[in-house]
Amino acid sequence: MLCIRGVVLPECEQRVFRIDGGVLREGAPPGGLAGRDAELVVDGGWLLPGLVDVHTHPGALEPDAPFDEGLLRGQLAEHRNAGVLAVRTPGTAARMPAWVETDPGLPRVISAGRWLATPGRFFPGLGRDVTEDELVRAAVEEATASSGWCKVIGDWALDEPAVPLPLLTSVVEAVHAVGGKAAVHCQTAEGSRNAVLAGADSLEHGMHLDPALLDRMAAQGTAFVPTLSAFGARADEMRARRPGLRRDLWLAGWDGMLGHVRAAHEAGVTVLAGTDSFPCGTVASEVSWLVRAGLPTTAALGAASWTARAWLGLPGLVDGAPADVVAYAADPTLDPAVLRHPSRIVLRGRVVR
């Protein structure tokens, strides 16, 4: 029987687990850790309940590239090899194939179906193009055909109108009525405002989010997924561009993002780690950006682990939980860079690294 011993985070408590049928059971087996039936695959170090990337789009290399199942498998493996044992895919070019749910060697995938884009608000043909009159019905269809989520492109160009608030509100209400949840892509002030006022379950990016909306977000449980690493990677390129309206709007939004993320955490908003970039398996970089934004290290780690798992309905390291565990030789609460170097990865009760 496989056994694990180490310091469990965030509780910072030394614990012992045994793995029984892919499930964690607290305590050593009857014969003890030295017994012949016990195989101690993790002995010491710090234990996390699997990292989580809540905004990743495996299955393509470029935003406008076609969906590729072979690439999907490889990119999910990149996540797994980095200790990312659960991902949320808020929008893809195609619905997830059935094998994603059954492959024991790949992370758990929570899909939001295809991107839902109204005219002029996304890469043409990449997601599911619908008219504004079709949007509510399409959102319900994607939510019920996926893992319960749908993803709406709430705005697109920084100088163009967002999806109208009454329509977005109808989308969220209809999705909630069937037990689903709605993620909204928003980068403009209007798009972010509409997403919050509509009651979206998550804001993806929120580049020009008005801090005056943070108390409402916290009260209604709207999570904030800022994808800072994706924006940060483009900042120098954008500054080097010739001045213009869209470039200047982008930079103005980026210049305020770190402060807005810190303010969101301080207001009690659930801030989560999502990369929205390639290669996959780089959520440790997003954690570093969250720390740079001013989140306490433990909160930034939680955004990519226990907090994200709880938000997605996945348990942490407790008796009866799925045996998804990542071990580290050093304490990541002292240095988040430790996340880049897992010493052991256990997925669905199997040692994968």
Show pLDDT as tens, one digit a residue, over the chain (353 residues): 999 999 999 999 999 999 999 999 999 998 888 888 889 999 999 999 999 999 999 998 876 777 899 999 999 999 999 999 999 999 998 889 999 989 999 999 999 999 999 999 999 888 999 999 999 999 999 999 999 999 999 999 988 999 999 999 999 999 999 999 999 999 999 999 999 999 999 999 999 999 999 999 999 999 999 999 999 999 999 999 999 999 999 999 999 999 999 999 999 999 999 999 999 999 999 999 999 999 999 999 999 999 999 999 999 999 999 999 999 999 999 999 999 999 999 999 999 98
Q: Would you list the DSSP string of 226-288?
A: --HHHHHTTHHHHHHSPP-HHHHHHHHHHHHHHHHHHHHHHTT--B-----SSSSS-HHHHHH
Q: What is residue 63's predicted lDDT score, i.e. its pLDDT?
A: 66
Tens digits of residue pLDDT in 186-200 = 999 999 999 999 999
**8 Å CB contact between 163 and 152:** yes
pLDDT of residue 89: 97
96-155 residue pLDDT tens? 999 998 999 999 999 999 999 999 999 988 899 999 999 999 999 999 999 999 999 999
Residues 53-81 pLDDT 10s: 999 999 988 767 778 999 999 999 999 99
Q: Say if residues 146 and 95 touch (Cβ distance below 8 Å).
A: yes
Q: Which amino acid would we find at residue 208? A: H
Q: How far is 126 from 112, CA to CA, in rounded Å?
A: 15
Question: For residue 87, with 0-12 CB atoms within 10 Å meaning exposed, 13-18 middle and 19 or more buried, which class applies?
Answer: buried
pLDDT of 96 reads 93
Strands 344-347 and 325-328, by their bridges, are antiparallel
Question: Which domains are assigned to the chain?
Answer: 2-49+315-351 (2.30.40.10), 51-311 (3.20.20.140)
Q: What is the pLDDT of residue 261?
A: 98
Average pLDDT, rounded, for the chain: 96
Question: Which residues touch 313 (CB under 8 Å, ≥6 apart)?
Answer: none
Q: Which residues pair with 345 in a beta bridge?
A: 326
- Residue 201: CB atoms within 10 Å: 20
Q: DSSP string covering 168-184, please?
A: HHHHHHHHHHTT-EEEE
